[in-house]
């Protein structure tokens, strides 16, 4: 996949946010560091990366945003901001009924390949397409266009002898009028020099294109910014096509550079085959990178199961360094509503997806009710310090009697209390980059065995 390294890092970050039981500064900083590294490796401008980090920090450190809200806001922020630096909204190439597009670019940027791909793309969508070869610089250029046009199954108008692009245009003018989409291939140079500028201007005058598009390879990374703005000021380009997205880790640089110069990216080339071209849509691109589907679902579930108030209370208890029996009851309830730990873990991509039998859900509800009776029979002191029950087991007998439950159930609740405490203790470790499938599976096994719903 294109930019898969960046995608992996972003998905990891989002998973960490989702799975953190409490998002503290240490976890957030770790996540930001990972995302920064990945973006810089993708050759995204350091300044943009810094701005994004600041925005993440602002939400993450905001004490007024808590719990699930914070998680959701963070995930949404990462999604939206990266979409923005990739170009924001999708810019579509709106072609009139009869259209001509002129393609420009330096040597080897992928013009001829892209034109053939687009010929194939639009022919499939019902356009009557013709390719026009005006690269009279390189001897093999016309042969290449001819061959690629065959693959695209569209006609190519070429002249292997004529050296003047203007003459070629003139000779084919009548013929070309029969087509409703003409894609014009031009010669490149090593750099944007005077010769190229005047050649393109002259071709442009003769062809009167509806659009002029610059073709750039993704591997130039951030240098796309200078290139796009130079072409823009010398030749008035309408937008860009980035090729070779498949072969480089730097594609993030090329995409964000275009966004910075306000040059819309209309298509991206993603391989050498004739069908390896796609319209560029920042939103679907970022969604694909983030693999949002599953995690969005997970966040929604977490949100629907955990009330704001109760989340705040648990956070407060923990911030003060204590976890009360009430937190455990509430947490158990929340997990019950989500379908328990098993279900929650099964929503993490890659984990098995087991269904919970109805009977088990019923048992779960019963158990939660009993937990509540137990809690109500405990003294405030015992609720705050459940360890008291272990020190003086006579308390357990008293509570069992008062709540109409069994001592086994009380011990279960205590076990759960310990587990939750442990889980909270584990979270640093989990979120500090060691959060992988293996670890989660281990955790799932551990909690599954002990937390009997
Ligand atoms: P031009 O000089 O601008 O016409 O560039 P070409 O169309 O001849 O392409 C230069 C090289 O880039 C060729 O080897 C193409 O096969 C390759 N190329 C173009 N687009 C892509 C792409 O999207 N992916 C890959 N992997 N290679 C591409
Ligand atoms: Mg070419």
Cβ of 79 less than 6 Å from ligand 1: no
From 243, 248, 267, mutation site for ligand 1 pocket: most ligand atoms within 8 A of C-beta: 243
Dist CA 304 CA 307 (whole Å): 7
Question: Number of C-alpha atoms within 13 angstroms, CB side, residue 385?
Answer: 7
Question: Ligand 1, atom 12: nearest CA belongs to which residue?
Answer: 110
| Residue 362 CB partners (closer than 8 Å, separation 6+) | none
* pLDDT for 12: 86
Q: How far apart are the C-alpha atoms of 235 and 224, rounded to whole Å?
A: 16
Q: How many whole angstroms from 118 Cα to the centroid of ligand 1?
A: 13
pLDDT for the residue 411: 92
Task: Let me know: does 256 contact 44? Beta carbons within 8 Å.
Answer: yes
- Nearest ligand 1 atom, CA 277: 23
Looking at residue 302, its pLDDT comes to: 47
CATH of domain 295-448: 1.10.260.30
Partners of residue 240 on adjacent β-strands: 214, 265
Question: For position 47, what pLDDT does the model report?
Answer: 93
- pLDDT score, position 339: 52
Strand partners, 183: 101, 131
Q: By alpha-carbon position, which residue is closest to atom 22 of ligand 1? A: 244
Looking at ligand 1, which atom is closest to the CA of residue 113?
7
Tell me how far the alpha carbon of residue 188 lies from the centroid of ligand 1, in angstroms. Answer: 13
The boundaries of every CATH 1.20.120.140 domain in the chain are 4-85
| CA-CA-CA-CA torsion sign (381, 383, 386, 391) | positive
Q: What residue ranges of the chain are covered by domains with CATH 1.10.260.30?
A: 295-448
Closest residue by Cα to atom 2, ligand 1, is: 108
**Residue 308 has what pLDDT?**
57
Cβ 246 under 6 angstroms from ligand 1: yes
Q: Given the CA of residue 245, which atom of ligand 1 is nearest to it? A: 23
Distance 93 CA to ligand 2 centre (A): 22
Rounded distance from Cα 249 to ligand 2 centre (Å): 24
From the CA of 108, give the closest atom in ligand 1. 2
- Distance of alpha carbon 74 from alpha carbon 386, whole angstroms: 35
Q: Is 113 in the pocket of ligand 1 (CB under 6 A)?
A: yes
Tell me if 269 CB under 6 Å of ligand 1. Answer: yes
- Is 279's C-beta closer than 6 angstroms to any atom of ligand 1? no
Residue 115 Cα to ligand 2 middle (Å): 9
Nearest 5°: the CA angle 56, 61, 66 is 100
Q: What is the pTM assigned to this prediction? A: 0.70
pLDDT at 312: 63
Residue 74 CB contacts under 8 Å (≥ 6 apart), including other chains: 17, 23, 56, 59, 60
36 lines ligand 1 (CB under 6 A): no
- Of 202, 194, 192, 449, which Cα lies nearest the Cα of 184? 202
pLDDT at 256: 94
Pocket test for ligand 1, best of 106, 109, 113 (most atoms within 8 A of CB): 113
Superfamily of domain 99-289: P-loop containing nucleotide triphosphate hydrolases (3.40.50.300)
CA 176–ligand 1 middle distance (angstroms)? 25
User: What is the spatial distance between Cα 6 and Cα 200, in angstroms, rounded to a whole number?
Assistant: 37
Q: Alpha-carbon distance 8 to 289, whole Å?
A: 8
Cβ of 187 less than 6 Å from ligand 1? no
Could you tell which of 110, 148, 190 is best to mutate to test the pocket of ligand 1, judged by most ligand atoms within 8 Å of the CB? 110
Going residue by residue through the chain, which has 453 residues, state the pLDDT in tens, using 9 for 90 and above: 688 889 889 888 887 887 776 777 888 999 999 999 999 999 999 999 999 999 999 999 998 887 778 888 888 899 889 989 999 988 889 999 999 999 999 999 999 999 999 999 999 999 999 999 999 998 899 999 999 999 999 999 999 999 999 999 999 999 999 999 999 999 999 999 999 999 999 999 999 999 999 999 999 999 999 999 999 999 999 999 999 999 898 999 999 999 999 999 999 999 999 999 999 988 888 877 876 644 454 455 445 444 555 556 666 665 565 677 877 777 676 665 555 555 544 444 444 344 556 676 677 778 888 998 999 999 988 988 899 998 998 999 999 999 999 999 999 899 888 877 776 655 555 444 444 445 555 655 655 544 443
In the prediction, which pLDDT does 446 show? 59
Q: Kindly give the pairing relationship between strand 265-269 and strand 277-279.
A: antiparallel
What pLDDT score was predicted for residue 423? 65
Q: What are the start and end residues of each CATH 3.40.50.300 domain in the chain?
A: 99-289
Residue owning the nearest CA to atom 13 of ligand 1:
110
Domain 4-85, CATH class in plain words: mainly alpha
- Any ligand 1 atom below 6 A from CB of 110: yes
Atom of ligand 1 nearest to the CA of 269: 23
SS in 3 state form for the chain?
Answer: CCCHHHHHHHHHHHHHHHHCCCCCHHHHHHHHHHHHHHHHHCCCCHHHHHHHHHHHHHHHCCCCCCHHHHHHHHHHHHHHHHHHHCCCCCCCCCCCCCEEEEEECCCCCCHHHHHHHHHHHHHHCCCCEEEEECCCCCCCHHHHHHHHHHHHCCCEECCCCCCCHHHHHHHHHHHHCCCCEEEEECCCCCCCCHHHHHHHHHHHHHHCCCEEEEEEEHHHHHHHHHHHHHHHHHHCCCEEEEECHHHCCCHHHHHHHHHHCCCCEEEEECCCCCCCEEECCHHHHHHHHHCHHHHHHHHHHHHHHCCHHHHHHHHHHHHCCCCCHHHHHHHHHHHHHHCHHHHHHHCCCCCCCCCCCHHHHHHHHHHHHHHHHHHHHCCHHHHHCCHHHHHCCHHHHHHHHHHCCCHHHHHHHHHHHHHHHHHHHHHHHHHHHHCCHHHHHHHHHHHHHHCCC
Distance 112 CA to ligand 2 centre (A): 4
Q: Which residue do the tokens 């560091």 mark?
A: 33
- Straight-line distance from the first to the last Cα atom of the chain, in angstroms, rounded to the nearest whole number: 41
């Amino acid at each position: 996949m294109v930019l898969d390294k960046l995608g992996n890092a972003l998905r990891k970050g989002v998973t960490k946010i989702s799975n953190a039981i409490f998002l503290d500064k240490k976890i957030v900083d770790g996540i930001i560091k990972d995302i920064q590294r990945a973006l810089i490796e993708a050759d995204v401008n350091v300044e943009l990366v810094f701005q994004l980090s600041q925005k993440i920090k602002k939400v993450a450190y905001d004490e007024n945003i808590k719990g699930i809200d914070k998680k959701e806001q963070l995930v949404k922020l990462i999604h939206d901001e990266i979409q923005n630096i990739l170009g924001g909204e999708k810019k579509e190439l709106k072609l009139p009924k009869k259209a001509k597009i002129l393609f420009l670019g330096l040597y080897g940027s992928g013009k001829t390949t892209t034109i053939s791909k687009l010929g194939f793309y639009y022919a499939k969508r019902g356009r009557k397409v013709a390719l026009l070869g005006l690269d009279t610089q390189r001897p093999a250029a016309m042969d290449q266009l001819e061959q690629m046009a065959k693959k695209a199954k569209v006609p190519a108008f070429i002249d292997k002898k004529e050296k003047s692009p203007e003459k070629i245009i003139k000779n084919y003018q009548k013929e070309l009028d029969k087509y409703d989409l003409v894609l014009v291939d031009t010669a490149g140079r090593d750099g944007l020099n005077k010769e190229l500028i005047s050649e393109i201007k002259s071709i442009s005058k003769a062809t009167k294109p509806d659009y002029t598009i610059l073709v750039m390879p993704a591997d130039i990374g951030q240098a796309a910014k200078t290139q796009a703005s130079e072409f823009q000021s010398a030749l008035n380009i309408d937008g860009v096509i980035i090729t070779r997205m498949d072969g480089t880790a730097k594609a993030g640089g090329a995409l964000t550079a275009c966004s910075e110069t306000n040059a819309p990216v209309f298509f991206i080339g993603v391989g050498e085959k004739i069908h390896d071209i796609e319209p560029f849509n920042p939103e679907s691109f970022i969604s694909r990178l983030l693999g949002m589907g599953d995690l969005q679902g997970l966040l929604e579930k977490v949100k629907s199961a955990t009330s704001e108030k109760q989340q705040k209370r648990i956070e407060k208890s923990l911030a003060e360094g204590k976890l009360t029996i009430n937190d455990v009851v509430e947490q158990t309830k929340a997990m019950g509503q989500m379908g328990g730990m098993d279900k929650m873990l099964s929503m993490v991509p890659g984990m098995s997806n087991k269904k919970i039998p109805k009977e088990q859900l019923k048992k779960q509800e019963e158990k939660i009710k009993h937990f509540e009776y137990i809690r109500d029979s405990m003294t405030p002191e015992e609720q705050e310090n459940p360890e008291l029950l272990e020190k003086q087991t006579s308390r357990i007998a008293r509570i069992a009697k008062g709540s109409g439950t069994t001592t086994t159930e009380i011990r279960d609740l205590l076990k759960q209390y310990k587990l939750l405490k442990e889980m909270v203790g584990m979270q640093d470790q989990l979120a500090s980059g060691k959060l992988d499938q293996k670890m989660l599976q281990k955790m799932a096994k551990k909690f599954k065995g002990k937390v009997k719903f």
